[in-house]
Amino acid sequence: MMDDAVPPMNACRLLLLEDSSVDAELIEEQLSRMSPMPSVTRAVGRASFIEALENNQFDVILSDFSLPDFDGMAALDIAVQKIPDVPFIFVSGVLGEDAAIDAFRRGATDYVLKQRLVRLPSAVERALAEAREKQERKRAEIHKELLVRELSHRVKNTMAMVISIIRRTAKGSRSIEDYQARLVARVSALAESHALLFQSNWGETDLRDVVKRAIEPHNVFVGRVDLDGPAGIYVSPKSALALGMILHELVTNAQKYGSLSNGDGVVKVVWRPVRDEDGALRIDLQWQETGGPAVVTPEDTGFGTTLITKGAQYELNAEGAIAYDNDGLKYRLVFPMN
């Protein structure tokens, strides 16, 4: 007999393996004391038991120990193989001590004698509580393992980035002092980007916060850097790190050679959401300098230029372009929202 009624919300879904209709009625009568009352699906033999397992989901299995064409131990073995996390409780009148010990060893959760069915509801509720606790522990362990893997991956990527910064900064430095100053500035910019990500628990970060965080260390230029873009545009952790480094290179270059190297120049940072030809949402970010000294196209490509062009392409899947215009350096970056 199969009970196909839809169970009430949060009701326990229970599979009862019992060949005796009288015993099944007595068992269901005791289960009716539970609130909400469990939804009971009954199986009477091996075929109906396996069919029920394959076609339904259950929270608890109750099983007689001895059946005409089947036995409880065989049912236990099948259940442990198919749904090992579902509690299995024997409800029997003939379960001896040795059989009970063997049943626990093979994965049974509890057993209730038919002569003492009054304790069946509490046994089911306890089994459900223990199963929930076990599932929570399992979820916590999986979550912890994922966090450790993610942390390991991020540390590895960060160290690779630091090593690259160390090597490339050494290539373009004119002296030990110059090397030290550039290296400290770049690693500090990377640290600032990480700090912002820690604040957002390594989730998506508002682009406005990324831009502000990259420029704030250069607070002597307050009022000379104009931010023009909407809040509420969020970027991934990887994008936030890459953007932080790119913006650091731009503001450092503006401070040394561009519009922030004198008392008159200004920088405007503009970003807007746009759609490409395929309708995909992208971010169009532009860095515009004006009022600085005459712009000279550099003869050599340094680490900073490589970072904001090739680095942008690699890290952001973006199109990054520099224009050395007469009225000031311009940089445009178009990258996917995700």
DSSP string, 209-242: HHHHHHHGGGGGGTTTEEEE--S--EE-HHHHHH
pLDDT digits (tens, 9 = 90+) for 116-138: 999 999 999 999 999 999 989 98
Q: 45 is written with which tokens?
A: 């033999």
Q: What Cα–Cα distance (Å) separates residue 302 from each residue in 177, 305, 306, 310, 325? A: 18, 5, 6, 12, 19
Q: What Cα–Cα distance (Å) separates residue 221 from each residue in 49, 107, 251? A: 75, 69, 10
- Region for 10 from its dihedrals, namely left if φ exceeds 0, alpha if ψ lies in -120 to 50, beta otherwise: left
pLDDT more than 90, % of the chain = 39
State the DSSP H helix or E strand holding residue 168, giving kind and residue range, or none if neither.
helix 120-172
Q: What band does 309 get if pLDDT is binned at 50, 70 and 90?
A: confident
* Cα 69 to Cα 4: distance, rounded to the nearest angstrom: 24
Instruction: Quote the pTM value.
Output: 0.53
Torsion sign across C-alpha atoms 100, 101, 102, 104: positive
Please determine, for residue 2, whether its predicted confidence score (pLDDT) is greater than 50: no
| Paired sense of beta strands 328-336 and 319-325, if any | antiparallel
- Per-residue pLDDT, 144: 80
Please determine, for residue 42, whether its predicted confidence score (pLDDT) is greater than 70: yes
Please determine, for residue 166, whether its predicted confidence score (pLDDT) is greater than 80: no
